[in-house]
């Protein structure tokens, strides 16, 4: 049944992808990279144990550290000498953090490859191999992949997400174009790891050329199917995908609906690590936006400063830009481009500044109708403006996925999404406070 309490037509964005997705994928000239910098803090703020000392010689793929909160090994992406620790801005954490500097010796010597496995291996071995290879979600979240598989039972479907619904980004598209077989093999491995019956590769309807490419390889993999979805935003959101493809809903995690969702880039990294023994040391990133000279996808070692990558593709066209890591809907802006490429970064976009003049809210309710999470952004903003935390608690603020649609549709150009994000922080604080108060009462 159509829900008349929500918007019937979905949001179709101008995708700005053509320039980058039609160009060939470039590879950065590694001889120009003097040093790479590996963050010593993981994106969620947890520390990383560093195993190498200053002056130690490392190769491409040498284990240099491991995350403290999850079992995620970190590998060096160039060969050279560990020079020490420097402080650099890290936009994923939101502040300057320590980075391990490795000076490049341009020899590209490779460390011992990882232990490889085959399609006949035990699911437990596959998960262990994923764990050792340090695979994380490459679609933007950076969540450790092994964790999804280790903690899930009764999975019947693995969804491989190639929707890429944010404008500007086209890394997944290029991966599927060049490495279709690797993606399929990786998907098969992930399906085996989850002991699922099917793996579904999901693409947008307008990517018909890719379907042809994939179908050539699919004959050998009977458990794999391709499904196409509409070109709407945010179709690539886990919850939206599970609902659209399988018509299932869940509360917190897809595993409740017996599904695991992974990105195509994650599937490809899995195949390369588990079948070829190459750990995650390089990734492809889309550099685009109307303030970039040449929009292109480029493959670079993890830890390369973004400024260097941008220089490699021709630099900026204007002196003033708004730049962000990822697509324009969800990404937070960055204050400079000196930060380094990390595994979960799929794009760097710089656009010419546009300022929006906001007028008072006319209560049209467009944000309420369009919100894919089904919350009421403008009510949240009004409650936040009037400091009404009690009402915020009732408005399901935590359901927000920060997709940015509420600000996008607002005819008054009000920063609704920003207000909801601030409301989330306030609610989290309030919850923490009441928890502390409760504990105090027990004592």
Partner 1 sequence: MKFIVQPPPFTRRQRSTTGIMYELSALLGLLWIAALVYNFTIAPSYGLKAILMVVVAVVTTLICDVLVGAISYRDKEKPFGRYLFTRIKENYSLVTALIFALSLPIGTPYYVIIIGSLFATLIVKYAFGGFGANIFNPAVFGRIFVTFAFGSQLRAFIGTVPGNIASLTDVGATVTTSFSSLGVKWISDSLAGLNVTMGQLWLGNYSGAIGETFTGLILLLGLYMIVRRICNWRPIVAYLLTVTLTALVVALIAGLNPGTYILLHLAMGGLMYGAVFMITDPVTSPTSMFGKILIGVIAGFMTVLIRIQGGYPEGVTFAIAIANLVSPLIDRFATGMTNNKNLKKWSVILSVLLLSLALNGGLAYYNTQVQNPEPEESQLVLEVTNDLLAEELKTDYVVEVIK
CA 266 – CA 201 distance, rounded (Å)? 12
Figure out which of the listed residues 43, 91, 167, 279 binds partner 1, where binding follows CB under 8 A. Answer: 167
100 lies in the binding site for partner 1 (CB under 8 A): no
334 lies in the binding site for partner 1 (CB under 8 A): yes
> Which of 398, 334, 326 has the alpha carbon at shortest distance from 140?
326
Q: Judged by CB under 8 A, which stretch of 107-115, 298-306, 365-373, 432-440 contacts partner 1?
A: 365-373
Q: How many CA atoms, within 13 angstroms, populate the side-chain half-sphere of residue 21? A: 20
Distance from the first to the final alpha carbon of the chain? 51
Q: Judged by CB under 8 A, which stretch of 54-62, 190-198, 256-264, 388-396 contacts partner 1?
A: 388-396
* Minimum distance of partner 1 from residue 356's CB (angstroms): 6
CA 369 – CA 362 distance, rounded (Å)? 14
106 lies in the binding site for partner 1 (CB under 8 A): no
Burial 164-173 (b: 16+ CB within 10 A, else e): bbbbbbbbbb
Q: Give 286's strand partners.
A: 297, 347
CA 285 – CA 347 distance, rounded (Å)? 5
Figure out which of the listed residues 53, 153, 212, 360 binds partner 1, where binding follows CB under 8 A. Answer: 360
400 lies in the binding site for partner 1 (CB under 8 A): no
Q: Give 35's strand partners.
A: 103
The smaller minimum CB distance to partner 1, of residues 94 and 113, is found at 94
CA 178 – CA 214 distance, rounded (Å)? 10
Q: Judged by CB under 8 A, which stretch of 106-114, 136-144, 270-278, 376-384 contacts partner 1?
A: 376-384
Figure out which of the listed residues 95, 276, 363, 433 binds partner 1, where binding follows CB under 8 A. Answer: 363
103 lies in the binding site for partner 1 (CB under 8 A): no
240 lies in the binding site for partner 1 (CB under 8 A): no
- The 406-425 site mask, x for binding partner 1 (CB under 8 A), equals -xxxxxxx-x-xx-------
165 lies in the binding site for partner 1 (CB under 8 A): no
> Which of 347, 300, 329, 375 has the alpha carbon at shortest distance from 37?
300
How far, CA to CA in Å, does 380 sit from each of 373, 420, 426?
13, 6, 11
Q: Point out which residues bind partner 1 (CB under 8 A).
A: 3-7, 13-14, 167, 316, 319-324, 328-337, 349, 351, 353-356, 359-365, 368-369, 371, 374-376, 378-379, 391, 394-396, 399, 404, 407-413, 415, 417-418
């Amino acid at each position: 049944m159509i829900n008349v309490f929500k918007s019937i037509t979905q949001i179709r964005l101008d995708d700005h992808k053509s320039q980058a997705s039609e160009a060939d994928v470039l590879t950065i000239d590694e001889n120009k990279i003097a040093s790479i910098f590996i963050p010593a803090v993981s994106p969620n703020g947890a520390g990383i144990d560093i195993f190498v000392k200053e002056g130690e010689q490392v190769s491409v793929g040498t284990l240099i550290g491991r995350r403290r909160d999850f079992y995620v090994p970190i590998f060096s992406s160039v060969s050279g000498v560990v020079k020490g620790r420097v402080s650099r801005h890290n936009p994923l954490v939101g502040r300057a953090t320590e980075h391990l500097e490795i000076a490049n010796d341009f020899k590209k010597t490779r460390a011992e490859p990882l232990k490889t496995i085959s399609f006949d291996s035990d699911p437990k071995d596959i998960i262990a191999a994923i764990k050792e290879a340090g695979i994380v979600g490459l679609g933007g979240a950076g969540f450790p992949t092994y964790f999804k598989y280790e903690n899930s039972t009764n999975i019947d479907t693995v969804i491989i997400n190639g929707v890429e619904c944010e404008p500007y980004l086209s890394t997944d598209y290029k991966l599927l174009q060049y490495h279709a077989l690797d993606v399929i093999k990786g998907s098969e491995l992930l399906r085996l790891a989850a002991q699922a019956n099917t793996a579904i590769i999901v693409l947008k309807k307008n990517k018909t050329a890719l379907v042809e490419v994939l179908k050539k390889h699919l004959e050998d993999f009977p458990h794999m199917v391709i499904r196409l979805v509409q070109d709407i935003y945010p179709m690539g959101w886990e919850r939206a995908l599970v609902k659209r493809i399988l018509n299932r809903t869940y509360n917190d995690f897809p595993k409740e609906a017996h599904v695991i969702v992974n990105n195509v880039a994650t599937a490809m990294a899995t195949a390369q690590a588990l079948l070829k023994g190459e750990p995650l040391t390089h990734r492809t990133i889309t550099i685009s936006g109307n303030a970039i000279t040449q929009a292109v996808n480029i493959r670079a070692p993890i830890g390369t400063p973004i400024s260097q990558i941008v220089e490699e593709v021709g630099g900026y066209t204007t002196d003033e830009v708004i730049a962000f890591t990822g697509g324009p809907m969800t990404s937070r802006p960055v204050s400079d481009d000196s930060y380094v490429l990390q595994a979960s970064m799929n794009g760097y976009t710089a656009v010419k500044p546009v300022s929006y003049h906001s007028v008072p809210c006319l209560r049209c309710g467009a944000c309420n109708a369009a919100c894919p999470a089904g919350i009421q952004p403008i009510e949240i903003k009004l409650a936040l403006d009037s400091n009404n935390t009690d009402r915020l608690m009732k408005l399901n603020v935590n359901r927000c996925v920060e997709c940015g649609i509420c600000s996008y549709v607002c005819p008054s150009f009000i920063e609704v999404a920003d207000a909801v994000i601030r409301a989330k922080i306030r609610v989290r604080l309030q919850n923490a406070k009441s928890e502390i108060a409760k504990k105090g009462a027990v004592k």
